[in-house]
Amino acid sequence: MFEVMTKPIARTLVLNSADNVAVALATLEVGAVTREGVKLGKRVPRGHKFTVRPVGAGEPIVKFGQIIGFATQALPAGEWVHEHNCDMGALGGAFERDYDYCAGVVPVEMVPTAQRATFEGYRRANGKVGTRNYLGILTSVNCSATVAKFMAEAINRSGILEDYPNIDGVIPFVHGTGCGMAGQGEGFDILRRTQWGYASNPNLGAALLVGLGCEVFQIGRMKEIYGIEDSETFQTMTIQDSGGTRKIIEWGVEHIKAMLPVAARARRETIPASELILALQCGGSDGYSGITANPALGVAADILVRHGGTAILSETPEIYGAEHLLTRRAVSREVGEKLVERIHWWEDYTERNHGEMNNNPSPGNKLGGLTTILEKSLGAAAKGGTTPLTAVYEYAEPVREKGFVFMDTPGFDPVSATGQVAGGANILAFTTGRGSAYGCKPVPSIKLATNSDLYRRMTDDMDINCGDIVEGTATVEEKGEEIFARILRVASGEKTKSEILGYGDNEFVPWQVGAVM
C-alpha cells in the first residue's frame, strides 16, 4: 500500500518519496515557491497537482507511489498537472498488472472477545441485527410504484406512526424496471437478489411486496426460488388480483396497520460490533479524498474488522488500476482471481457499450483535482483499509464472510449502495469532497467531508470533517477512531445529518443490466 503523510506542515504535500508530483493544499499562484523548493510556472488550484521535478513527454506521472497517468508533453518542475497534459497513455485500454495473489496478506490482530465494542441494535428472529426499524413497501415492477407511494402517504397522513415511536418510518422502495426485460439471465438475477435482499435486510422490521400481475418479474416465482411464504412480517399482492388501484391501496394500508404492532415488538439490546456490516462509499470525490477521508475511513474499517465486523468495498470502476493492491491482500488465489474476473467483465461491458473505463472521473471530480481513473481508484481503494480480502461478491449477493470483502457494483453511488444494502449492509459511511447530497433508507449514511471548506459550507449535510488531517490538527489514525466511534453511536440510534434532512426515499436504484425490450 502507499504511505500517507498525516501531518503536513505547509500548503503542499508529497504523499510518497517516489512521487514526482505534490498536492496543493491551497490555491497556489504563479511564482509561488513551495516547501519543495519549486517555483510555480502555472496557477495550481487547491487539491490539484504540480510537478516537483521535470517530467519528460511520455514519462509516468507518479502519485501515492503509483502510476496515475503519463505526461503528454515535457513538463518542467512547478507545472500544473491535469487533463490538459496528463492522460492514461498506453494504459487507456486493458493493461497488464502484477496481481501477485496473496503476497501481502497480514493476519489480523483481533481484539479479544471480552474487549470488543458493542452497540444497541435490533436482534431479528433469524439472528440478523438491524440498526434501524423501518417497514418497507417493495415493488416488483415500475407499474406498481404509484400504489406503493400512495400506501406510504396514506399511513403517514393518518398519524398512526405516532403510536409506534420505535418504528423509524414506512418507505416505498420504487424503481423503473421489472418488465421489458429478459425473464432469465444476468439482469433478472440482479433484480431478484436486490428485491429479496431489501425485503430481508435486518433494518426492516416488516415488508410488503406489491406487483401489477403480468410483469416479467413475477412475485410468485421469486417466492418459489427463495422458499418464501407470506407471514406476519412479509406480505405480497398484485394490483390485478386485488381488483385494481383503490382496492390494493386499501389492502396495503390495512396490512401495514396490522404489521406495525408486530414490527414495534423489536427492542434495542446490546449487540457486539461483530454484527455490523459497513458499506463503504465515496462520491463527489476531490484531490483530498485519497489523502483525508478515504484513508481515515480505511482505518475505521480496519478497527471494525479487528472487532469481528464486516466492511464492504465496492464501485468496481473506481478501483480500476488499483485492484493489484487488493489481490495482494486476497486470502486465497480464488478470491483474488474472482476480483480480476469482475475487472475483465467491466472492460468488456464498457467496450461493447462504446465506453471506456476512464470515463470516470466525473466533471466534478476533475474540478476537485482528480485527473485519471487510476488516480481516483488509488484514493478510493484506501477506504478498504489494510486487512485481508476475505471474499468477492457479485452485485446484491448476500454477504456471509466476516472481515474486509468486495462487492462488484457500478461507481454510481445510489446503484452501488443499493447492492450493498441488498447484500446485508446495516450501516454506511460515505466520503465526499465536492458535497454529495445522499441518504440511504433503510440504512443510516454517515457523511465524511474530505476538506474543511466543504464541511463549513454544507454543515447541515456533513457528519464528520476530515479536513483537519491536512491542517495538521488530526492524524489519519485519530480520525479513523473518531469515525468508528460515530459508527457505533449511529448504529445505536443516533441520527445522521441525511436522516435529519429526510434523505433516502428516492435512493433505491437497482442496477439495470441488459436489453430493455
Q: What DSSP string describes 23-84?
A: EESS-B-TT-B-TTSPBPSS-B-TT-EEESS-B-TTPEEEETTEEEEEESS-B-TT-EESTT
User: In terms of domains, do 332 and 456 share one?
Assistant: yes
* Single-letter amino acid, residue 244: G
Which residues sit opposite 137 in a β-bridge? 172, 208
256 shares its domain with 295: no
CATH number of 141's domain: 3.40.50
Alpha-carbon torsion (354, 357, 359, 362), positive or negative: positive
255, three cell numbers: 396490512
CA angle 306, 312, 315 (to 5 degrees): 145
Number of domains in the chain: 3
Does the pTM surpass 0.75? The reply is: yes
| Predicted local confidence at residue 92, as pLDDT | 52
Instruction: Identify whether residues 251 and 330 lie together within a single domain.
Output: no
Q: Are residues 11 and 152 in the same domain?
A: no
Q: Are residues 198 and 249 in the same domain?
A: yes
pLDDT, tens digit only, all 517 positions of the chain: 444 443 443 488 999 999 999 999 989 999 999 888 899 999 999 999 999 999 999 999 999 999 899 999 999 999 999 999 999 876 554 456 789 999 999 999 999 999 999 999 999 999 999 999 999 999 999 999 999 999 999 999 999 999 999 999 999 999 999 999 999 999 999 999 999 999 999 999 999 999 999 999 999 999 999 999 999 999 999 999 999 999 999 999 999 999 999 999 999 999 999 999 999 999 999 999 999 999 999 999 999 999 999 999 999 999 998 999 999 999 999 999 999 999 999 999 999 998 887 766 888 899 999 999 889 999 999 999 999 999 999 999 999 999 999 999 999 999 999 999 999 999 999 999 999 999 999 999 999 999 999 999 999 999 999 999 999 999 999 999 999 999 999 999 999 999 999 999 999 999 999 889 9
Cell of 65: 507511489
Residue 371 lies in a domain: yes
Tell me what pLDDT residue 391 has: 98
User: For residue 89, what pLDDT is reported?
Assistant: 76
Is residue 95 assigned to a domain? no
Q: What is the CATH number of the domain that holds 32?
A: 2.30.130.110
Domain residues for 63? 1-87
Q: Is 334 in the same domain as 245?
A: no
* Residue 290 shares a structural domain with residue 431: yes
C-alpha distances in angstroms, 69 versus 136, 371, 433?
45, 8, 22
The pLDDT value recorded for residue 224 is 94
The reply to whether 214 and 192 lie within a common domain is yes
Q: Are residues 311 and 249 in the same domain?
A: no
Same domain, 390 and 346: yes
- Are 83 and 139 members of one domain? no
Same domain, 290 and 250: no
Position 3 scores a pLDDT of 42
Residue that finishes a domain, picked among 31, 54, 87: 87
Q: Is residue 122 in a domain?
A: no
Cell 478510493 maps to which residue? 380
Q: Domain for residue 127, yes or no?
A: no
- Beta strands in 395-435, from DSSP E residues, in sequence order: 403-407, 427-432
Dihedral sign for Cα atoms in the order 388, 394, 396, 399: negative
Residue 189 forms part of a structural domain:
yes
Measured at the CA of 236, the angle between CA 226 and CA 156, to 5 degrees, comes to: 125
DSSP letter for 140, please. Answer: S
CA distances from 392 to 60, 178, 245, 324 (A): 31, 26, 42, 14
